[in-house]
Amino acid sequence: MALPKAERRLFSALLVVCVTLLVSSFAARARAAGWVELHVARDDLKVEIDANGKAIVEHRMVLLVNGGSLKELTLRGVDADAELEPNGWVAPEKDAASGPPESPLPLTFTKLEAKVADGAAPRTDVVVGLDGSAGIPRGRWIAVVRYHTDLRATGALTEDGASALLRWSGAVWDDGLDTTKATFVLPRAPTEPRVASDGGDVDDADDEGASSLATLTRRPTEDVLDLVRPYASKGQRVVWSLRADKRAFAMGAPAREARAPLAAAPPRVDPLPAAFGNVRQGILFGVIGALFLALASVVAGHASYAKRVAEERGQTAQPLVPLPIFVRAVLAAFAWLSGVGLGLALDAPLAGALVASLFVPLVWHRTARQKTTMRPPGQWLAVTRREALGVGAAIGPSSAFDLGRARGKLAFTALALVVGAGVYLVSTRSSYAAVLLALDALPLTALFLSGVRRRLLPDLAVAPAQLLDKVARRVESKSKRAVRVVPKIRVPRGQADADEVRVVFLPRDPVRGFKGLEIGTSPIAGPGGVLLLPEILVRCEEGSPAARALRDAPGYGRLSRGRRADECVLAVSPKIPTARTTADLALALLDRLAARAVDRA
């Protein structure tokens, strides 16, 4: 008979409660019985050896504790003559990960001779009492144990020909270690210490081929050799073997008569190399000073040129940082050289890049400012193509900072060659420094990208000449019907010089009411300078077939009133402001306004 739904839920809840109480009871009994689980995750060793062969050994162990409180652990396989320091401690890993903890727990030590099987080598163990034998609860802990030993007296450090051979064994752990590391600090000697290649690094024949990764750091008074072994098997005792210069130790003499480390002797001062060092330092400062003056002069010349050409056009140059030219030149040179120095000499690439990038705003110019005035009325005059679109009309004075001119290209090429030579010379010493120098040279390109004529408001009677000439040539060569090209200039009333130039296209067989297709330009200021955007104006009589054809044309511009009341104008701007796109759009409009095309429509 099935139980009701409510009773089934009640029975399930009671079953869960009973199982929970049963498990908690067993856990409490196990904890009360002293059940505890310990796993040693790491045992990082540090062995500091002096010239007499005496050493201080430090075990820094990461303990993973589960169950009840861990009261003690056994360090198996320490040196037989180990003299334990009383200042060992244990602390939670989170408190000791970044340095010594503020309130560590004390350790107690009991040294004893372990019982080994017959014929096995004797072993010395140390029982470490945690927190004064009160124990530590579950969690991750770091325990540090230090002791003193005489490596020469125990036979771990011996003389082997011209070198000293050290074979020292670490502790044994039942669970093994995923990674074990040992750091040996030895007195500095002329010959670098290295891993011994004629002996195994383990005491287990099955792992004789295991290898250690070595990293050597040489300091003024000591050599630090870091050895890392990827793993240590269960119950395996790792043997660390290395060779050192025996001149670092008092080999062949009693330990009490050992001489001081070789590196502790006062160095002999040679006045000749010191004099050469002073000369090199003077040459370096001279080169830096010359670079500073040269770069400051270039920045000042760049700013002066931008100011002069702007005044010639009746405009005002606008530097991004409104400071005097001299101040900007000094700050720009100092910022760039300081950035290079930070990146190369002081090994601070990020700070160096940020400081060197300050060069860009100090030399950058915005679009020049011109006083806004009403455009005076004028008259459009038809002129010859040579007068209006002659290439020579668009050429002005040359500058070393204008990439569009021969002198600018030559100056940019020279800069690239100098930077390339510097990068090559630096790369012979350091590829990293060569890359930094190449990146630090990028801000110098701001001299060629700002403050030149592209930052000036263009003269619409001269600047569009090359663009309009290219458009006229393409329209003439690609048109299927005969087209007449009429260049026009606008001369303001009371003035002798024109202020704008345009090109008018007239087909031979226009539709009735079509007056002409004009192409002009309008300046647009952007972050890269002033850009001339071409604009197409189609003029026709209001209410004529030409006007109706334009109104029915999809995808083109919008009709508006022209210069006269009976005139309408369609203004169209190409999506891509190039001569090719503008000419193709003009050809499409001319084909649509041809008489035959309108008749067919």
Percent of the chain with pLDDT over 70: 79
* Tally of CA atoms within 13 A in the half-sphere of 121 that contains its CB: 10
Q: Does residue 383 register a pLDDT over 70? A: yes
Query: Which whole number is the average pLDDT over 64-92?
Result: 86
Q: What is the chain's alpha carbon radius of gyration, rounded to the nearest angstrom? A: 44
**Least reliable range by pLDDT among 105-119, 142-156, 411-425:** 105-119
Higher-confidence residue: 2 or 81? Answer: 81
Q: Does residue 433 register a pLDDT over 80? A: no
Both 471 and 450 in one domain: the answer is: no
* Predicted local distance difference test score (pLDDT) of residue 426: 79
Instruction: Tell me the β-bridge partners of 109.
Output: 128
**Beta-carbon contacts of residue 335 (< 8 Å; ≥ 6 apart):** 355, 356, 358, 359, 362
Contacts 24+ apart (CB under 8 A), 376-379: 376/492, 376/493, 376/494, 376/495, 377/492, 377/493, 378/490, 378/491, 378/492, 378/493, 378/495, 378/499, 379/490, 379/491, 379/493
Q: Which range in 64-78, 87-101, 144-158, 221-235 is most confidently predicted, on average pLDDT?
A: 144-158
Quote the tokens at residue 524.
């647009």
> Does 382 map to a domain?
no
Q: Does residue 200 register a pLDDT over 50? A: no
Phi/psi for 477 (5° steps) reads -80, -25
Q: 251, 285, 300: which is the final residue of a domain?
A: 251
> Does 68 map to a domain?
yes
Q: 455, 477, 495: which is the final residue of a domain?
A: 455
Band (56; pLDDT cuts 50, 70, 90): very high
To 10 degrees, the CA torsion angle through 268, 270, 276, 281? 40
Higher-confidence residue: 462 or 49? Answer: 49
Query: Which whole number is the average pLDDT over 365-393?
Result: 77
Query: Which whole number is the average pLDDT over 142-166?
Result: 89
Residue 519 domain boundaries: 465-600
Q: Which range in 209-213, 234-238, 503-507 is most confidently predicted, on average pLDDT?
A: 503-507
Both 420 and 518 in one domain: the answer is: no
* Distance (Å, whole) CA 335 – CA 349: 14
Both 236 and 115 in one domain: the answer is: yes
Domains in the chain, number: 3
Q: Which amino acid is at 545?
A: P
> Does 563 map to a domain?
yes
Look-up of token digits 């004075």: 397
Both 419 and 496 in one domain: the answer is: no
Query: Which whole number is the average pLDDT over 566-575?
Result: 85
> Does 427 map to a domain?
yes
Both 439 and 504 in one domain: the answer is: no
Q: Which range in 26-35, 319-328, 421-430 is most confidently predicted, on average pLDDT?
A: 319-328
* Predicted local distance difference test score (pLDDT) of residue 395: 45
Both 526 and 558 in one domain: the answer is: yes
* Predicted local distance difference test score (pLDDT) of residue 399: 73
CB 95 within 8 A of CB 89: no
Both 119 and 142 in one domain: the answer is: yes
Query: Which whole number is the average pLDDT over 567-577?
Result: 86
Both 552 and 481 in one domain: the answer is: yes
Q: For strand 194-195 and strand 180-187, is the pairing parallel, antiparallel, or unpaired?
A: unpaired
CATH classification of the domain holding 164: 2.60.40.1730
> To the nearest 5 percent, what fractions of the chain are helix, strand and coil?
35, 30, 30
* Predicted local distance difference test score (pLDDT) of residue 196: 83
CATH classification of the domain holding 546: 3.90.1150
Tens digits of residue pLDDT in 216-269: 888 888 999 998 887 777 777 788 888 898 888 876 544 444 444 444 445 544
CB atoms within 10 A of CB 424: 11
Both 191 and 297 in one domain: the answer is: no
Q: Does residue 207 register a pLDDT over 60? A: no
* Predicted local distance difference test score (pLDDT) of residue 236: 76
> Does 24 map to a domain?
no
* Predicted local distance difference test score (pLDDT) of residue 138: 80
What integer best gives the mean pLDDT of the chain?
Answer: 78
Both 241 and 93 in one domain: the answer is: yes
Tens digits of residue pLDDT in 486-504: 898 888 888 878 888 899 9
Phi/psi for 172 (5° steps) reads -110, 135
Percent of the chain with pLDDT over 90: 7
Band (278; pLDDT cuts 50, 70, 90): low
Higher-confidence residue: 128 or 405? Answer: 128
Both 323 and 186 in one domain: the answer is: no
Higher-confidence residue: 374 or 208? Answer: 374
Q: 191, 219, 251: which is the final residue of a domain?
A: 251
> Does 11 map to a domain?
no
* Predicted local distance difference test score (pLDDT) of residue 149: 93
> Does 256 map to a domain?
no
Band (600; pLDDT cuts 50, 70, 90): very low
Q: Does residue 32 register a pLDDT over 50? A: no
> Does 312 map to a domain?
yes
Higher-confidence residue: 31 or 524? Answer: 524
* Predicted local distance difference test score (pLDDT) of residue 96: 80
* Distance (Å, whole) CA 33 – CA 401: 87
Band (12; pLDDT cuts 50, 70, 90): low
Query: Which whole number is the average pLDDT over 32-61?
Result: 84
Tens digits of residue pLDDT in 298-312: 898 888 888 888 887
Q: Can you point out the beta strands (E) in 300-444?
A: 316-319, 365-369, 378-382
Both 510 and 437 in one domain: the answer is: no
